[in-house]
Amino acid sequence: MSDPAQFDPAQPDPAQPDPGDLLELACRLAVNAGDQIQDMRAAVMSGTPEAETKSSSVDLVTAADRAAEATIVAGLAKERPHDGVLGEEGASRVGTTGTRWIIDPIDGTTNYVYGIASYSVSIAVEHEGTLLAGAVYDPAGEVLFAAARGRGATRNGHPITAGSRAELATALVATGFGFVADRRRGQAEVLLALLPQIRDIRRFGSAALDLCSVACGQVDAYYEKGLNYWDYAAGRVVAEEAGVVVGNLRGGPPDPGFVVAAGPLLFETLADALRVQGADDKP
Ligand code: IPD
Ligand code: CA
């Protein structure tokens, strides 16, 4: 949770790009890619071409994931040719500007393949390792979450803020599961212990949208072990700019080891409940 503090909107670094400009481009690219994956959905759902698998037999990737990433990368090559790029489907470019774009072309590919309307295009921008802007677009619901560091977060242009719930017992908590059996076993054990302590659990299927759901108070909290950077980078900016605390279970910023997000009054209570279950130490 330390690096947002490195960015002081009152003391802009002249070498640093304007977060608002970065956000404007991130939003444009996310909406454009979202339209593209919507156009491709009928073909993907009819199974032509069939979805393939990645890290395990349940981890899906489609032609739409690859096409959307290619479109975003092509847009960046045109508008910010010297920036770095990291994308879930393999895009990787080392830039020369200190600015890097983190892309998840479809976060929630399983939902996308099954026709469940909870998936998103997620684009974050960092400069010298500090996240400055994030755009998460839900093309099925036509909802755009956007945030630039120091300037607040919005949902379709309207400012959003996290809920203020403090008690775990009445908290609605979102989570997600990895794609490998051993990890899922550990995640199920944690869930088994947590479920009797909370209002209820939600598994929407897109980590980026989960974080945005905490940001707009649609759920009270979210946690997941084992995400990739592209799953949470943009959602993290949206959540933090909405006043959500986003961290790991070791008192640091969120990382691929663990991501917990909740309002300031709830964060430590949820983190404690997860620590008691050894959530961080499982596979
Ligand atoms: C997945 C989704 C899911 C989360 C998984 C992620 P993908 O991303 O965010 O909600 O539980 O851990 O891998 O594979 O659909 O881009
Ligand atoms: Ca993802």
The rounded Å distance from CA 28 to ligand 1 centre is 23
Q: Are 239 and 145 in contact (CB under 8 A)?
A: no
What pLDDT does residue 55 have? 81
The rounded Å distance from CA 108 to ligand 1 centre is 5
Q: Is the C-beta atom of 107 inside 6 A of ligand 1?
A: yes
What pLDDT does residue 135 have? 98
The rounded Å distance from CA 12 to ligand 2 centre is 31
What pLDDT does residue 1 have? 41
Q: Is the C-beta atom of 122 inside 6 A of ligand 1?
A: no
- For the chain, 283 residues long, the average pLDDT of each consecutive 10-residue run is 52 77 98 96 78 80 91 97 95 94 97 95 97 98 98 98 96 97 96 98 98 98 98 98 98 96 98 96 89
What pLDDT does residue 9 have? 58
What pLDDT does residue 5 have? 46
CA–CA separation, 101 vs 22, rounded Å?
Answer: 10
Q: Nearest bound ligand to CA 204? A: 1
Listed residue (248, 242, 218) closest to 134, CA to CA: 242
Listed residue (245, 257, 242, 14) closest to 127, CA to CA: 14
Q: Nearest bound ligand to CA 224? A: 1
What pLDDT does residue 8 have? 61
Ligand 1 probe mutation, 136, 177, 231, most atoms within 8 A of CB? 231
